[in-house]
Structure 1
Amino acid sequence: MMSARRAGVNWDCAYGAFLGLLCGDAAGATLEFSPGVITKLDVGRAMLMPGGGVFNVGKGQITDDSELALSLARGLSGHRPSDGFALESVARQYVAWCDSKPFDIGNTCAAAFGVTPDKDGNYAAAMTQTAATSCSSSEANGSLMRIAPLAIWSVGELEESIVALARTEATLSHPNLVCQDCNAVYCLLVEHLLRNPGDFQGAVDRGEQFVRNSVLSVVRQWFLEESLDISTLVCTKNVGHVRWAFVLAVYFLRENESYERAIHQTLLKGGDTDTNAAILPTEESTPEAEWAVRPGQRHLRRGLKIELMVKDQTAYSVGSRHRTQVEESIHQEDKKLKYVKAEQLFQLDSKGDNVVPSVTKQQKLAKLQKGPILASTRKFRL
């Protein structure tokens, strides 16, 4: 992703941060849109990435969070941070992703990435203009969920450069100042950890200094106050709001919490589980995402159906084709989702609107009556 291997970059942590994003997304995917209270038993099962859920994802299958992060990484590849944000390159990747008919896409992303090119065949100008006119009120999590590759890409750059790059990325779909501030703070935290593995307090101190000096939006309160204690944090209302993922990420960073426990506690909170969990690993920069590949759980490597094929620069998000006995039991359990509970999951608000699947509400509710939407056979090519 970077043109040269800069001194001071811990590449184990960089790779672990990206893999951790994928694993968190895959674990949370089985609980996304889950009705009712999520139990410890539910979370324990989800941590094994069994597949299933409302979207009937395959074992270890990633969702829009990871697919857009991969798209961002692809768009940044071959470009240098010192030359500025690669707007057109990244915009083209986002359009290609949107055109792949993702089974889960938020309203904000759909509006921004569904644009047509200008007369010269370029997308960036049309995308930023559409976002500015149609998406400026959204405080959804669609930009923060994909931003981690930019933090990796910009390691070693000046703080003001990292902030500018992170803010510019948000303008492609989420230009609201709240979303820009979240991107900026998050990238500063992650970039610090990639240069200084394990220095969680140093990362928090850096973030706090930036927030106190440069952030005037409500993100200031989230960082300085709400992230001190999440015991009363309710993530099941306005579930797509960026507030929840941001506060959880900063809280677990403050606590120097283990990656596995942070994911576990995040999934228990419910709401937009895959996005909230995907954002956590990059804060912790855990080498090789130990939870997913440690010796006692090598089977998860086989379950994680994510193939990054560097040779032909192709990436696929692939689920299993045949259900095991365990999968079938999960499948049958998911089919018991009641229509009235599903109805409640799609009540939107003007802020946290980034959790609406690409099918219409009526189509989705109809499919929920018959069983989960089949997502496990979809392939996504970068």
Structure 2
Amino acid sequence: MKTLLKSILFLLVLSQILLATTDYILDTYIPIANPQAELEDKDGIKLYKVPFYTFYSYSESAIGSVTWEYLVNTPHGNLKNTDINLANIEGLKVEVDYASGNNCTVFIDSKNVVHDYTSNDFEKILDYVKKATQLNLKNAKLNCNIEEKHLAMHDNLPKPLLLQSVVDSTFSDYKLGRSKLHFLYDNVYLLGKSKTKIAYAIEYDTDPADLVRIETFIQDLVNDEIVWKDTYQKDSHTNKVNFSIYWRAKKGLIAQTLQDYKLKPFSKPTLQRGAIHYKNDVLNLKASSKKSWSKDWSSDFLEQSSVFLDSKLEGNKRVDFQKYQFPSHILDRKPIGYIRLDENNQRIAIVVAKVQRGWEGPPHNIHYEFVGANLRIGFK
């Protein structure tokens, strides 16, 4: 028992060392009982250094799973009905296989756990190590199999779509008359695509609040539902945060999620403008809206907004309709272009911008949305 306490104390000291490093790889020590010695003997517990990944170490390589296999006569049978996720780490999937009377296989799937370098998370891992020690009795041996997954994700920091000049010309009636600051603009980063889905991140302009807020989405462009979302928000007054730091912390998770949803990264995404050419057809984006005057705010605000797709050959169709509770504080909303998912793909992602009234008037906020549209069917 004294040896066990010494091992735990060593782990606590080790945690402080690891927390001080900026390395992306977290190594931990699992105490394993020596089959040749008694548990209470000074040589009874050995500290084995193993990579216990609960986050992604590199952008191009992620740890998909870790398999622990206890061999010989390891008495785990009495633990069949207990919660094997001893650390209670959110997202950690643990399965136990008692197929053999002599073997117990513990499968740990850590792909949904992302480590954010906080002391609380590290304490959870240490707690797991402490309790794992109690399971490794004197006849236990450990085989640790690390499965690596190579993920398609560029190392380069994504660049935001160039939207400001388009917004300035589209909503010129609402812009502030300054040469460098017409609006407060959100930034949009395109991350992945498939024939029916798009992945993107939005970095919100939160001025005057001292915080950085970035949301990452995967959107189904058939029904425009958000099928996956991640939110990153930190106080920028006391923390050094920006998009680069966000990307370094989240790119492994994003790469794995793109792979899960079968999305490929964009190479050089650009906003397309003007007429849309699809096979022998020519299509154009249009919009309509209904506004009402607010006496309290001395402004016209949107009550309804629609986006249409006009086809030279097939007619037209409405691809998006939004109804707002009055006063919506939305001054205007229009499509400003589109994203081609593939040169021959019949579905596009329409980029819609809306002008949200500033709390004290201009400069107003510019927010963005995506609307999926099929270029071939649904016209009247």
Give the TM-score normalised by the residue count of structure 2: 0.21
Give the TM-score normalised by the residue count of structure 1: 0.21
* Higher fraction of helix: 1
* Higher fraction of strand: 2
Greater RCO (CA < 8 Å, at least 6 residues apart): 1
